[in-house]
Structure 1
Amino acid sequence: MSLQRNNGMPSSKRLIYSHIAEQGTVSKAELLDRSSMTSSTLTRMLDEMVSEKLILASGFGPSSGGRRPILYETNPEYGYFFGLEISRFSSTLGFYDVRMNPMSLTRWRMDEAMTPERVVEHAAANMKAILNDHKVDPEKVVGVGIGAVGPLDRERGVIMKPRYFSSPGWVDVPICRMIEEKTGFPAELENGANAALMGEQWAMRGSKPQHMLYVHAGVGLRSAMMSYGQIIHGSLDMEGAIGQMIIQTDGPRLNEDGNFGALEAYASVQALERLAQSRAKISGGEWPERLQSSPERIRYELLLQELRQNNSHVEELFRQAASYLGIGLANMINMLHPETIVLGGTLINSYDRFYETAISIARKNVYYYPEYEPVFTKGELREDAVATGAALMVWKKMSI
């Protein structure tokens, strides 16, 4: 088994296989409706795919007057995939069969010790243990999909210069080559937001969403867009550009090379930490005593703890940040017109009111609302979306 490295049109065999995979079980008659093949050609192809153990004849469907039709489904043991998320707070390693069923999910914190070399060693050791636990021959592993914080050079498999990693060394990291040398498995790289969107669309495939926007709100802000079911790649792989959307021309900036009044200065983990630190200094003793911390040591985890204790000061900080994110979302929605908006990241998932406030503000500022009313969701996969989408990327490039 190998990965297809070309970008050509998918073969008829690939199209038939993908339709079976998306539907779960399907009859020959349904496949004929989706293809331009003759009945005899499709029959030969299906017989060939069964003999290759690519698909299984799984039983019979209901009769419509004649013989009951044979039903086909993918063979879950045909191949296996690893999906690796590399993010700022934590990383995730997922192991999947051909049906994208998660057989194992492992997470670890990305602290100061997690250099690129250590991450690769840790991931490789976990891959070996997972294969042993599931008694899977390494020869059946098709590859490793990597979803990472950008900017990236996807063609060369290099993580270029991401911000805000706790560990040093995350500059010009040839992550694909490092994984391949350590594991022997081919690797493919995609930015994490794109991978998450691919994973979520797969999970929602029953409703057939085609035009989707994904926004991740965490340490930074990341986004991805899909049109007609295809990820939109720009000339540069800069998934964090949404954070530089200017929403207040005379506003602050989060970093020296960022825009003044950019969204990331109002609606990110770092923005919340800095604002809380500033408020604590201005208020004198009240905030530091309440938080039992000096202003400089206030971190996101402490703010979440205060949210759980109904600290009204911290609740107001989150409400303001969510309102700004809602404005940024409205700007993107008015420009891109997605049918579905998936929101992820620690700001979305750790505090329900943040999510509710953000989508409420976005809805109020969407042009043509309520005639145009996109669907907002936290997604089906949530924190597993990047790893799943990364594995799915390899699945889509599997030679058939």
Structure 2
Amino acid sequence: MQKKLIGIDIGGTTIKMALFDATGTMLDKWQIPTNTEANGVSIPDEMVASIKKRLADKKQDSGELLGIGIGVPGPVDDLVVKRAVNLGWSDFPLKQLMEKRLNIPVVLLNDANAAALGELWQGSADQLRDIVFVTLGTGVGGGIIVDGKILNGRHASGGEIGHIPVQSEETRLCGCGNTNCLECYGSAKGMLKTMNQLAGEEVVSNTKEIFALIAQGDSRAQEALTITIDYLARAIAGILNTLDPEELVMGGGVSEAGEAFLTPLKTALDQYTFPQISGHIQLRKAALGNDAGVYGAAYQVLNAIEVVNV
């Protein structure tokens, strides 16, 4: 009997779910709306109902499930979701609630960490065990994997790459409450702010417009990109110098610019990394897109029960 896994990625508007076999082949994928009413109290019941219905519709035996992995937008430990602001959760016993209703093992992890594990498991052509994953969207997220295991940290805050403090002549307030975190300057939002400051007015509303201007030879857009990349490269170089991983993976909306973004980032990283690392950085764009989270959540089940050894 082929054992199966379910990976779940809880987002602010949708909850993505997928069924996998133990080799990482996706067998089915579906989603439901995220019901955040009453501080998300009904989310576990709605996920359980959806899973039961989907398995029944597809004539899948729940007895074949090794477990369920759930990626959550916030810090988690082995038992509870410490905080998920967008869902209204605080010290929420998600694991216990799901296991009681389904009688199936459940593991929890942060959503960015789940995406990192997904890229490790199925995003790379090589079988790797050490990667740094950075996602650049509205903010800057990340996941650090060492020896095949996600680094969650003592306070469930491992991989918070976006909150590395940076030096700047100006002051920008971060959503976390601190000032001048990396995501204030290195995110899509940060790049837009830099571009509009250079222009002295609001000339762009998304990073696609910045890269389009760069392609047309716009000097201010090029300067905005150079400034953004310098902040990112200094911070990421510190991580690479500390961990010396096998691969650096860039995801999120900004990475969709492809080589227009990755090439200058690689050049800057080579400038700031330790000489033994410089020139040897394996850098790639994330391959799994929005599916990375469900892949990684499922893979965490395998990690938790040590079924595979990759």
- Classify the TM-score, shorter chain: 0.7 to 0.9
Paired residue type of 1:327: R
| Structure 1 position 331 matched with structure 2 position 234 | no
**CA 321–175 in structure 1, closer or farther in 2 if over 3 Å, else same:** farther
Aligned partners of 1:200 and 1:385 also within 8 Å:
yes
Give, in angstroms, the shift of residue 151 of structure 1.
Answer: 1.9
Q: Look up the match of 1:18.
A: none
Matches within 5 A, 1:332-347: 332-347=239-254
**CA 204–250 in structure 1, closer or farther in 2 if over 3 Å, else same:** same
Q: Look up the match of 1:155.
A: 78
Give, in angstroms, the shift of residue 393 of structure 1.
Answer: 1.7
Give, in angstroms, the shift of residue 277 of structure 1.
Answer: 7.2
Q: Look up the match of 2:265.
A: 358
Q: Secondary structure at the match of 1:161?
A: strand
| Structure 1 position 348 matched with structure 2 position 255 | yes
Give, in angstroms, the shift of residue 181 of structure 1.
Answer: 4.3
Give, in angstroms, the shift of residue 95 of structure 1.
Answer: 1.0
State the alpha-carbon separation in 2 of the partners of residues 150 and 201 from structure 1.
21
Aligned partners of 2:207 and 2:254 also within 8 Å:
no
Q: Greater CA deviation, 377-386 or 250-259?
A: 250-259
Give, in angstroms, the shift of residue 117 of structure 1.
Answer: 3.4
**CA 353–124 in structure 1, closer or farther in 2 if over 3 Å, else same:** farther
**CA 304–181 in structure 1, closer or farther in 2 if over 3 Å, else same:** farther
Paired residue type of 2:206: L
Paired residue type of 1:144: I
State the alpha-carbon separation in 2 of the partners of residues 398 and 323 from structure 1.
41
Q: Greater CA deviation, 83-92 or 114-123?
A: 114-123
| Structure 1 position 188 matched with structure 2 position 107 | yes
State the alpha-carbon separation in 1 of the partners of residues 224 and 14 from structure 2.
24
Give, in angstroms, the shift of residue 182 of structure 1.
Answer: 4.6
> Which of 18, 37, 47 is equivalent to 1:123?
47
* Structure 2 spans left out of the alignment, 5+ residues: none
| Structure 1 position 377 matched with structure 2 position 284 | yes
Paired residue type of 1:344: G
Kindly tell me the number of residue pairs found equivalent between the two proteins: 303
**CA 331–323 in structure 1, closer or farther in 2 if over 3 Å, else same:** same
Q: TM-score, normalised by structure 1?
A: 0.63
Give, in angstroms, the shift of residue 96 of structure 1.
Answer: 0.7
Report sequence identity in percent.
23
Bigger Rg, which one: 1
Highest RCO, 1 vs 2 (Cα 8 Å, sep ≥ 6): 2
**CA 259–272 in structure 1, closer or farther in 2 if over 3 Å, else same:** same
Aligned partners of 2:229 and 2:265 also within 8 Å:
yes
Q: CA RMSD in A?
A: 3.5
**CA 244–329 in structure 1, closer or farther in 2 if over 3 Å, else same:** same
| Structure 1 position 145 matched with structure 2 position 59 | no
Aligned partners of 1:222 and 1:239 also within 8 Å:
no
| Structure 1 position 389 matched with structure 2 position 259 | no
State the alpha-carbon separation in 2 of the partners of residues 235 and 216 from structure 1.
22
Q: Secondary structure at the match of 2:28?
A: strand
Matches within 5 A, 1:53-92: 77-88=1-12, 91-92=15-16
Q: Look up the match of 1:262.
A: 181
